Amino acid sequence: MRCLWKTLFIVGGLFLLAACDNSERANQAIEPMAKAQSEDELLSQIKAAGVLKVITRNAPTTYFIGRDVMPRGPEFDMADSFASYLGVELEVIEKNSIQAVISALKNKEGHIAAAGLTQTQSRAAEFMFGPSYQDITQQVVCRRDNVQPESIEELIGLDIMVAAGTAYSERLKTLQMQYPNLSWVESASLTTEQILYKVWQREIDCSIADSNIVDLNRRYFPELIAPFNLARSENLAWMLNTSSRALAEAVNEWFLDYQETGRLDSTLDQYYGFFEVFDYVDTRTFIRRVDERFPEFRQYFSDAAKKYNLPFHLLAAQAYQESHWLADAVSPTGVRGIMMLTQKTAKEVGVSNRLDPKQSIFGGARYLSKIRTHRFVDEVEEPDRTWLALAAYNVGRAHLHDAQTLARQLNLNPHKWADMKQVLPLLSDKRYYKDLRYGYARGTEPVRYVQRIREYHHIIENELE
């Protein structure tokens, strides 16, 4: 895919989000597309030019540049899939706010706005929406040791800020008709993520954010709380100009297949699948231990990860889930050490002393690499291969094999973690395990195991920036 990205900034001091730009387009303003064009003409022009222009913003819930200097994000992944469906390349047009995204779409600087946009009545009066791809809820966000309002009445008098041009400001304006004394400030220069950082810094009392944004940011700022919802569940969808009906029909056709083949579930699981349960105490403790315990073992994790071609932070996160980074950890079942190896596994990977942290880390890395590399067919792609390997590390490859067999019987995909995490808990249900080769297993444990490792992985990447 061609490189068509632009250089960005650090969001709230948290996410180093960079991008690049095609050399022939550098330092050139994006020319607005022709104002008047028929429905069929626009789609034909996109195909003739070989480029789909999608307007978005740089944020972890939309589009960002990953550590591998490759574009990532749920909106990007979906837009890239749609561009492939049309047989064209994707060009991302970045704007620094929702307000700027909507203005750019109105000015026809791009073909589609894909930026975590809520379907609201005012927007629907001016634009068309594609299919809904995610349900979210607007939540009041405060800091737990500051203020904890439990109703709209208790918001009155608080210092509240939201990003300008968002669905949050629309909702507040609607509420203000019933609560005239409700007041807030709208920022045209700060993103929702940056405003949440100000809440965490106690610079303001509260803000409003979508539930998916709240879930992600609480991993970095555990003190943030969402005391109540400001609205009922709402839908996120792409926005198009009303003159783009043929393009909208193409979006609908693509999305139907994207959803039915499970790719939508896989995309959402990749970015949000580990945010189901939030544990404030555990998260706060983990962040503290990144400073207190991790440095002692950091070099071991780094060297082992390189040797066995594993993500460094993922290996460290797995070790924390296993032992909380305690080299002398011992469980009642006999597993021990920082990677909590059984005697059988330790012997298999050449570990003579499970309580030696270097041996344990290298042994655990070797074992995980072996599962990840050799125990799955080629059809299992990343990141599913890694999540399934971690599950097998926890529950055993035999029980995971049973779960994959059961997945096929239930017409689910044994190669997709989004499906397998639904199947694994059934291994403790007699109706299912009685007919499986290896019988009963506590199938909820590997699901939770993988989820927590993904949580820790996400946090440690941020803490070690």
| Whole-Å CA distances, 3 to 46, 96, 155 | 18, 20, 45
For residue 235, which phi and psi values (nearest 5 degrees)? Answer: -110, 140
From the candidates 91, 94, 322, 461, give the one annotated as an active-site residue: 322
Mean pLDDT of 10-28: 37
End-to-end CA distance of the chain: 28
> What pLDDT is stored for residue 406 in this prediction?
96
Element (H, E) at 350: none
Query: Of how many residues is the chain composed?
Result: 465
> In whole angstroms, what is the distance from residue 43 CA to residue 61 CA?
28
Backbone torsions φ then ψ of 348, nearest 5 degrees: -60, -35
142 three-state secondary structure: strand
Q: How far apart are CA 246 and CA 309, in angstroms?
A: 46
pLDDT at position 14 is 34
Asked if pLDDT for residue 120 goes beyond 50, the answer is yes
* Dihedral sign of CA atoms 157, 159, 163, 167 in order: negative
Answer yes or no: are the C-beta atoms of 453 and 310 closer than 8 Å.
no
The gap from C-alpha 15 to its chain's centroid, in whole angstroms, comes to 13
How many beta carbons lie within 10 A of that of residue 100, not counting itself?
Answer: 17
Compute the distance between CA of residue 156 and CA of residue 151 in angstroms, rounded to an integer. Answer: 9
Tell me the pLDDT band of 217, cut-offs 50, 70 and 90.
Answer: confident
Q: Return the C-alpha torsion angle 173, 175, 179, 185, nearest 10.
A: -40
Average the pLDDT over each of 304-308, 370-374, 438-442 and give the range with the smallest value. Answer: 438-442
Residue 123 is predicted with a pLDDT of: 94
What tens digit of pLDDT does each residue of 235-270 get?
A: 999 999 999 999 999 999 999 999 999 899 888 887
316-326 tens-digit pLDDT: 999 999 999 99
DSSP state of 32: P
Of 95-99, 314-318, 333-337, 399-403, minimum mean pLDDT range: 333-337
pLDDT given at position 21 = 42
275: pLDDT confidence band, cut at 50, 70 and 90? low
CA distances from 432 to 427, 439, 441 (A): 6, 9, 11
Q: Is 322 a catalytic residue?
A: yes
Q: Phi, psi (5° rounding) for residue 344? A: -65, -45
| Confidence (pLDDT) at 23 | 38
Mean pLDDT of all residues in 417-445: 88
